[in-house]
Structure 1
Amino acid sequence: MAAAQKRPPLPAILLANDLLDGDVVFAAAGAEGALAWTRDPAEALVAGDDAAAERLEDYAASQLGTNRVVDAYLVDVTVEAGEPVPRHYRERMKTLGPSNRPDLGKQAGDGVGTGRRA
């Protein structure tokens, strides 16, 4: 019998890697209540309860089957200034972009998000 995968503490967001370009993408609210992927971490849908987290996990499972994304998983976050910010260093770096070039990537406001997460 396989052990159930442990869910991170809530609130949480769903992140994955896009298979076409390798960029980190986040599950966000799409048209008519559907979910969609976005490259902007500020648009990530935040799951604050078990039902919302399960919805994100179900979306991840459906998307992995389409070969659109890989390595989809929930990440625990805090909400700062209305935007989700990952609690752990690894995921925070994924939301920002290259750590060796703060003038590039999402933290530089490279057309995505606000760029305030430096």
Structure 2
Amino acid sequence: MKVAAANRLTDGEAVWLSANGVWAETIQAAEVAADKQAEAELERTAKAAVAANQVIDLEFIDVELVDGSIIPIRLRERIKAAGPTIRLDLGKQARTAA
């Protein structure tokens, strides 16, 4: 399973492509591609956003679903989804919805 991750061009915020084609600020809103056909569609939509200068640094990351939550496989991507590891009062983990 994969999700599309990038950084929003206007402010550098880590974002994930959601099912409605909007770049969401939380990984839990991401569209999860469960097969090759869905991955191809996700890639097409995400690359169009790069071409339109909405996002940069596009990546397709491996995830798993654990009790309905989207969890990145790699530690690097888990940190990106949560925010800085040295200040828990900053970043995504400091937001009430995180």
What TM-score comes out, normalization by structure 1 length? Answer: 0.77
Give how far 1:70 is off. 0.4
Q: What is the alpha-carbon distance in structure 2 between the residues aligned to residue 104 and residue 81 of structure 1?
A: 26
Superposed CA deviations along residues 30-82 of structure 1, whole A, max 9, x for unmatched, are: 2xxxx111101111111100011111110121111111100111100111221
- Partner of 2:8 in structure 1? 18
1:60 touches 1:73 (CA, 8 Å); kept in 2?
no
Gaps spanning 5+ residues in structure 1: where? 1-10
Question: Secondary structure of the equivalent of 2:18?
Answer: strand
What TM-score comes out, normalization by structure 2 length? Answer: 0.92
Amino acid at match of 1:95: A
- Partner of 2:82 in structure 1? 96
- Partner of 1:3 in structure 2? none
Superposed CA deviations along residues 14-45 of structure 1, whole A, max 9, x for unmatched, are: 10000101001101022xxxx11110111111
| Higher-Rg member (1/2) | 1
Runs of 4+ residues over 6 Å off in structure 1: none
Gaps spanning 5+ residues in structure 2: where? none
